[in-house]
Structures are given as C-alpha cells and as structure tokens.
Amino acid sequence: MYVKIQQAMLIFLYGPDTFRSQKKLEETIKNYKKANKNGLSLKYFDGENFDLEDLLGETQTNSMFQNKKLLVLKNVFANKKFKEEFLEHNKKITKVDAIVLFYEAGEIDKRDRLFKLLQENSEVQEFELLSGDKLAAWAEEEIKNYGAAIEPEALKKLIIFVGSDLWQLENEVIKLVNYAKNRKIKTEDVDLLVRPKIENDIFETINSLAEKKKDKALFLIHKHLEKGDSPLYLLSMINFQFRNLLEIRDLIEKKLPYSGILKTSSLHPFVIKKTYQQAQKFSFPVLKKIYRKIFQIDLAIKTGKIEPETALDLLIADL
C-alpha cells in the first residue's frame, strides 16, 4: 500500500523523446532558480551510484541561508536497490522539505511499481516521439524561432529525411537557416545539406518484398509500430523509397552507368548508393504498379476509408 506523499514535491519527466524532456528539465531548474531568491541547492544523482540513504542524507543537510533543495534523480529505474528501498520506505519522503525530480530517458515499463507510485504522487509529464503533423509543426516552429521560413515541400522532405530524432532535426534546421539566410528554405537546400536518415529496417523491408518474403516484411513493419513509430510516417518512408527506386530503375533502363546516375539523378548521393543495388531487384513495370498501390493506400487513409495500420498490412500483403 503506497503512502500519498504530502510535503515533498515530486516531479516525474520521462519518455523516448529525450530532446524535449531534456529541455523541460533545464527549464524546470531555471524556473526554480529564478523563483528562489536565496539560491537553489541543486544536486544530481545518476544511475546506480546512490541509494535511499544518500538521498535522505542530502535533504537533511541545511545551509545557513535555508536554500531550497532540488534533487535530480536521473535514470534510476535500472537501480534495483534504490527502487526497492524507495518503495519500502517511501513514507520517509513525506518528511522531506525538497523538490525531488525523477528524470528517465527512454521507454519505461508502465507496470513497474515505481512507475505507478510516481504516477500517483508526482507532477508527471511524458515525452513521446513526435510524428506526422505534430513533428512538422515542431520543425516549422523551430525554423520560425530562428527568424526563417520553409517551403511546404521542403518541410515535408526534411521530415522524411530526418524522422523523429529532434536532436538531429534541430541541427539540420540550424544548418538550413544559416545556408538560406534571408530567403525561404527550399527543397534543393534540403537535398544539398541534409543526409537522409532512411531506416535500415525500411531497406530490409523492401528487400524482403523483392525476395517475396512478406512475413519478414510484416515483422519489420510491426517492429516499428511496437516501438511507437507512426504508420503514416512508415508509409511515407516506403513511398519515398519506392519513388527513388523508380527514378534509379528508369536511369538503369536507359543504360546509364553508376557514375552517370550520380550526375543525372536529383537524389542525394547517399540515397543513390543505398538504392542502386536494390533497384536491380525490381523491373520497371513492377515498380510502377507498386507505386500506384502506395498512392491508392495513401488516398484511402486520408479520406478515412481505412485505418493506417490496417492499410500497411494490406499494402504489404498485396505487393
């Protein structure tokens, strides 16, 4: 039976989007420093290098100026000893005059007893990976914060190239803003400066389809879905790669050597390298047929005729 915590203030920040959770952690510390004019006593505890007595000992150390204490506990879910002690003796925390902030990067098993305790007794904020419209809105807002703008197609390509990794996305935004200077960011800028982060699983999925191994392709797609990736994002990645395959296959059909494809194609050299061998596993008519099916599936999703996850399954089964 857990004891409802009354005095100690607990904050719980967690989730796989470490960019936004880290920013929230920094913002929280900054706000508490600003609010406490006598100063803020800040102490970090990380991973497996502490136990409950270390935490309680820090709360009992008084300064002559009675500074407010903010104790940041980072990635403690792997600290088995601390978890057991905290769950057994959490009553002691009711006597602590401090702010205790739990910061956990990555996924957490929500059946975990410590997770349930913190959910019941903390100010909680979860940071899931952004995708789809939310991810695009975040990127556009970041670009605006730097006093710049981006064309819609360039934004779409940027999201396809980078995905939900906000650490990389932020770096790419800074690069693009500095390059474009006083004009809108264009698709050519994205092609020139951003190295596409095409998931290896997407290439493997398409290889599986080329080899008629649909079970493996479905397994790889569902691995992404279980990880929390948006089905619309996965479809956009598949669409992006089959469009690339069509372009490269067309140039192969025209008997262009690899060096000629590098000069002629509008694609990033990294994408050409990854796509060239794969394109030889498909005929041009088959690629056209697949690309049409992807278009039809995308339209069915956008018009509400089918659920995105079901659409992915049907697409792969039908290829």
Domains defined for the chain, CATH in brackets: 9-126 (3.40.50.300), 132-193 (1.10.8.60), 200-318 (1.20.272.10)
In this prediction, residue 1 carries a pLDDT of: 37
Question: What CA–CA distance (Å, rounded) separates 55 from 53?
Answer: 5
Question: What CA–CA distance (Å, rounded) separates 16 from 14?
Answer: 7
State how far Cα 121 lies from the chain centre: 27
Q: What HEC string does 192-204 produce?
A: HHCCCCCCHHHHH
Phi, psi (rounded to 5 degrees) for 68: -70, 140
Return per-residue pLDDT of the chain as tens, 319 residues: 333 334 458 899 999 899 999 999 999 988 888 877 766 778 888 877 777 787 777 766 555 455 678 889 888 888 888 888 888 877 666 566 788 899 998 888 888 999 998 888 889 999 998 888 899 999 999 999 999 999 999 998 898 888 888 999 999 999 999 999 889 999 999 988 987 776 666 778 888 887 778 888 888 888 878 777 778 878 888 888 888 899 999 999 999 999 889 888 877 777 888 888 888 888 999 999 998 999 888 888 888 888 888 988 888 888 7
Can you tell me which residue has the tokens 């902030």?
101
Strand order in the sheet with 123-126: 40-46, 68-74, 99-105, 9-15, 123-126
Helix ranges restricted to H, the chain: 18-35, 52-59, 80-88, 113-121, 132-145, 152-162, 166-180, 187-193, 200-210, 214-227, 231-253, 258-264, 269-279, 284-302, 308-318
Residue 76: name the closest of 50, 99, 56, 97 by CA: 50
Quick check: pTM over 0.75? no
